[in-house]
Amino acid sequence: MRCRKLMMGLVLAVALAALAVCVPPTGAASRPEAEGFGAEGRGAEGLGAEGRGAGAADRGAGWAPGVSTFRGWAFDTCLAPSVGTMRRWKASDYQAVGIYYAGRGRACKRQPELTRGWMRAVRGMGWKVLPVYVGSQSPCVTAKHKKDVRMGRHPWRQGTREGRDAVRKAKALGMRQLSPLYLDMEAYTHRKKKCARTTLAFVRAWDREVRRLGFVPGFYSSANSGVRHMEAARRAGVRDLPAVMWFARWHVRPHLYREPALRRNAWHPERRIHQYAGNVKERHGGRTLKIDRNLMHAPVARIR
């Protein structure tokens, strides 16, 4: 009997210990569960040599000392919010913000809040910044409102020129070398071979110029168009590809390494952002914004 009671006591103790491990802590983040994301990854410095050319997209290509990476939740919005709104939104789970800072293809060309002072102010609050450049679009872009900013007949020359512009505008806002600049290429019909060649030439030229000037070239597009196209180019051994992949696939749970358009070992580690929802309204600290939601583990801007 005494032995049986002892065994029952041991079983009860083990059960209580297991229950304590399984119960989430009070105040846990309200974002949905996400593959490839943990509370320990709030920010990190990349290590190793920065990837160049085709190798920049492959597993194991780490970052040069000085490249700042962040792992967590980010939002992007067409107009940079006011400093006051950014302060109020510190009450949210987000810790990074995407800004559309330059490019002829921007929907919100006027950015009254976006100044060097704004960049310093949000950095001082602890925000990480994702700079997005919306340049010339693919000749076979699907969005009607982007057809008037399609690239011309000399994509390499045009990509080089716009890459230089991207760096110049980034520097004007106080961004330092080794900051990422994300080229926004909206969805296009990448299976049209001539269009695909033209688009790829532009992207490669833009990447090469941004790299040459000491910044990190990133790429944003729809998972089923631009991202799939870049992955095909990577598998073919094409050089001068983006170093970071920001893929849009909405209406799914946020994830970093389960994207069907990308092999798991591509753009890994610290080289992916998943935009998993778009054009949604959120309210924090009494201020409402229409935003896109992102899960990321990737470089962020270095601000003077």
Q: Report, as an integer, the average pLDDT of 236-262.
A: 98
| pLDDT of amino acid 188 | 98
| pLDDT of amino acid 32 | 64
| pLDDT of amino acid 171 | 98
Q: Taking 80 as the threshold, does the pLDDT of residue 200 lie above it?
A: yes
List the single range of 58-62, 124-128, 176-180 with lowest mean pLDDT.
58-62
| pLDDT of amino acid 62 | 81
Tell me the three state secondary structure of residue 101: strand
Of 159, 102, 161, 105, the C-alpha closest to 132 is 102
Cis amide bond preceding 32, omega within 30: no
| pLDDT of amino acid 13 | 42
Query: Residues 280, 253: contact at Cβ < 8 Å?
Result: no
* 67/183 Cα distance (integer angstroms): 18
CA dihedral 303, 277, 108, 152 (to 10 degrees): 90
Q: Taking 50 as the threshold, does the pLDDT of residue 187 lie above it?
A: yes
Task: Classify each residue of 92-128 as buried b or exposed e, where b means 16 or more C-beta atoms within 10 Å of its C-beta.
Answer: bebbbbbbbbbbebbeeeebebbeeebbebbbeeebb
Q: Taking 80 as the threshold, does the pLDDT of residue 245 lie above it?
A: yes
| pLDDT of amino acid 58 | 58
Instruction: Specify the pTM.
Output: 0.84
List the single range of 15-19, 44-48, 62-66 with lowest mean pLDDT.
44-48
Neighbours of 177 (CB within 10 A): 14
| pLDDT of amino acid 31 | 61
Domain at 40-299: CATH code: 3.20.20.80
